[in-house]
C-alpha cells in the first residue's frame, strides 16, 4: 500500500432536507517512489536505517557505534486537506531528515459537531472505534518492529565480535563466549520476529464513546505547546590519531541474512587510501584519507591522565591523541606526587611511531608519581615544529 489516509468526517441528513452536509479533515501519508516523486505533495521525511560507525582510536584500537541515518529507499510524504472543517498541523524533523514529532488536530465545530448533535452521533462513534483500533494495532506493530530492529542490531554486533576474535586468535574461552552471545542474539531475533507477526495479525479490542451535544465553540483548534524553536544537536567532532577518518557500514537486512556494506563518498580534501599503507585484506575503496591535518586545538594531549600500575606489570604506558616527534625532548622526567616533588632516575621513553610513551616502574617504590613529558610536534601540514609539555599521574601498587 503506497498511501494511507486518516479521514475525520461527520455526515447527517434530515428527512425534510434533500441536502447532505459534511465536514472532513484528511491526513495522508504516501510512500514516495520514482513514479510519483514529482507529483506527491506534503512534507517529506525518511525512515531510519541502522549503520555501524567504526572510528580509529589513538591507541590503535577502534570504537564501534550504532547510529541511525535516513534510508533514502524509504521516503514518505505527509499531506493534509480540509472540507468544511479546520485543523492544525505541526511536524518536526531532525537535521538528518528523520521525523521526530508530529501534531495533528482536526476540528469540525462549525459544521461537523452541529450535524453530529442532530443525527450523526452513530457515524462519529463508528469512526472513533475504527480509528482507535487502527491506532492500537499500529502502535503494537511499531513497538514490535522496534524490538526486532534492536535484536537484529545486537545479532550483527555479536557476529562482528566473534569474527574479530577469530581473526585475531582470541582464547578458546573468549571464542566460546562469543558463540554463546551470537546464539542468544539469534534467539532474541526469532522471538522478536514472532512477536511482530502476532502484532501484524492479531486484532485489537478497543472501546470508545461519543456524546452528541450542542457545540460550545466554533473556533479552530489551538496549537499545542510541545513544538518550539527547532533545535539540532551539535555535530560530533573527532580528534583523529592520524589521517584516517571513521568508516561507515550500512546494516542490510534481507530477512534471511544480515550483511555490512561500506559507505563511501567524495569528502572534500580527501583521497582514496593506497593498498600499501593499509593493513592486509583491507579494501582500499572503503577508506578515504585526509590530505592535510591541523593543530588548531593545541598540542597533542596524553591519556590516561591517571592510572594504577602494579609493579608486576613493569611498565606504565601512556598514549598521545596524535603522534609526537620521537624521541622525547630532554627534560622529560618522573617525579613524586608530593610537596616538594623529588625527581627519580627513571626516564620516560617514547615509541618509535610517537604514539605512546612508557615508564619503567620496576625501580620505583610503591606510591604516587607524576610523569612530565616534553616533546615536539608538527604544527601544520608544511612541517613546522613546535614544542609541547604534558603531564600524567600514576600510582605504583605492590
Runs of H (alpha helix) within the chain: 112-115, 121-167, 172-201
Least confident range of 55-64, 275-284, 369-378: 275-284
- The residue to which cell 555535530 is assigned: 235
* Percent over 70 (pLDDT), the chain: 65
pLDDT of amino acid 382: 66
Q: CA–CA separation, 222 vs 79, rounded Å?
A: 19
CA 263, chain centre distance (Å): 16
* Measured torsion, CA atoms of residues 145, 146, 149, 153, in degrees rounded to the nearest 10: -160
- Would you give the DSSP letter of residue 152? H
* Cα 46–Cα 48–Cα 53 angle in degrees, nearest 5: 130
Which of 277, 296, 387, 356 has the alpha carbon at shortest distance from 58? 356
Residue 182: band (very low, low, confident or very high) from pLDDT cuts 50, 70, 90: confident
Domains in the chain with CATH codes:
247-290 (no CATH), 302-397 (2.60.40.1220)
pLDDT of residue 281: 67
Instruction: Tell me the three cell numbers of residue 341.
Output: 616533588
92-96, 164-168, 241-245, 295-299 — most confident range: 164-168
What average pLDDT does the chain have?
Answer: 77
Supply 293's cell numbers.
Answer: 591535518
Higher-scoring residue by pLDDT: 266, 56: 56
Return the higher-pLDDT residue of 97 and 296: 97
Q: Are 47 and 150 in contact (CB under 8 A)?
A: no
Grade residue 115 by pLDDT with cuts at 50, 70 and 90.
low
Taking 60 as the threshold, does the pLDDT of residue 144 lie above it?
yes
Query: Could you tell me how far CA 107 lies from the centroid of its own chain?
Result: 37
Between the CA atoms of 12, 14, 17 and 22, what dihedral angle is there, to the nearest 10 degrees? 0
Which of 24-33, 157-166, 168-177, 333-342 has the largest mean confidence? 333-342
Q: What is the pLDDT of residue 390?
A: 94
| C-alpha closest to that of 12 among 128, 112, 159, 145 | 112
Mean of pLDDT values over 263-286: 66
Give me the torsion for CA of 352, 358, 364, 367, rounded to 10°: 160
Within its chain, how far is the Cα of 228 from the centroid? 23
Amino acid at each position: 500500500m503506497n498511501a494511507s489516509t486518516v479521514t475525520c468526517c461527520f455526515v447527517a441528513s434530515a428527512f425534510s432536507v434533500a441536502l447532505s452536509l459534511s465536514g472532513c479533515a484528511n491526513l495522508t501519508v504516501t510512500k514516495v517512489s520514482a513514479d510519483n516523486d514529482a507529483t506527491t505533495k506534503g512534507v517529506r521525511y525518511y525512515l531510519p536505517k541502522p549503520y555501524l560507525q567504526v572510528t580509529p582510536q589513538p591507541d590503535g584500537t577502534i570504537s564501534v557505534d550504532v547510529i541511525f541515518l535516513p534510508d533514502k529507499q524509504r521516503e514518505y510524504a505527509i499531506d493534509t486537506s480540509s472540507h468544511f472543517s479546520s485543523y492544525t498541523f505541526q511536524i518536526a524533523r531532525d537535521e538528518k531528515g528523520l521525523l521526530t514529532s508530529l501534531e495533528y488536530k482536526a476540528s469540525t465545530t462549525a459544521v461537523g459537531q452541529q450535524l453530529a448533535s442532530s443525527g450523526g452521533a452513530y457515524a462519529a462513534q463508528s469512526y472513533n472505534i475504527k480509528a482507535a483500533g487502527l491506532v492500537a494495532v499500529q502502535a503494537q506493530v511499531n513497538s514490535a518492529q522496534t524490538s526486532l530492529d534492536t535484536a537484529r542490531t545486537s545479532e550483527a554486533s555479536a557476529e562482528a565480535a566473534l569474527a574479530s576474535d577469530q581473526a585475531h586468535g582470541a582464547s578458546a574461552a573468549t571464542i566460546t563466549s562469543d558463540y554463546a552471545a551470537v546464539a542468544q542474539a539469534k534467539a532474541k531475533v526469532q522471538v522478536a520476529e514472532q512477536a511482530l507477526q502476532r502484532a501484524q495479525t492479531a486484532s485489537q479490542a478497543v472501546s470508545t464513546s461519543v456524546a452528541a451535544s450542542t457545540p460550545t465553540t466554533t473556533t479552530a483548534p489551538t496549537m499545542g505547546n510541545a513544538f518550539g524553536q527547532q533545535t539540532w544537536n551539535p555535530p560530533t567532532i573527532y580528534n583523529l590519531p592520524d589521517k584516517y577518518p571513521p568508516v561507515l557500514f550500512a546494516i542490510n537486512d534481507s530477512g534471511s541474512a544480515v550483511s555490512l556494506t561500506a559507505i563511501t563518498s567524495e569528502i572534500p580534501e580527501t583521497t582514496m587510501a593506497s593498498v600499501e599503507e593499509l593493513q592486509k585484506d583491507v579494501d582500499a575503496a572503503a577508506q578515504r584519507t585526509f590530505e592535510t591535518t591541523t593543530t588548531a586545538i593545541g598540542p597533542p594531549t596524553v591519556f590516561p591522565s591517571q592510572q594504577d600500575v602494579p609493579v608486576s606489570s613493569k611498565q606504565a604506558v601512556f598514549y598521545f591523541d596524535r603522534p609526537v616527534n620521537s624521541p622525547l625532548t630532554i627534560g622529560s622526567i618522573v617525579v613524586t606526587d608530593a610537596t616538594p616533588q623529588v625527581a627519580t632516575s627513571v626516564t620516560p621513553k617514547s615509541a618509535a611511531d610517537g604514539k605512546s610513551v612508557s615508564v619503567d616502574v620496576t625501580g620505583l617504590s610503591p606510591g604516587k608519581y607524576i610523569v612530565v613529558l616534553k616533546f615536539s610536534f608538527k604544527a601544520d601540514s608544511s612541517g613546522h615544529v613546535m614544542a609541547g609539555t604534558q603531564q600524567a599521574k600514576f600510582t605504583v601498587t605492590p
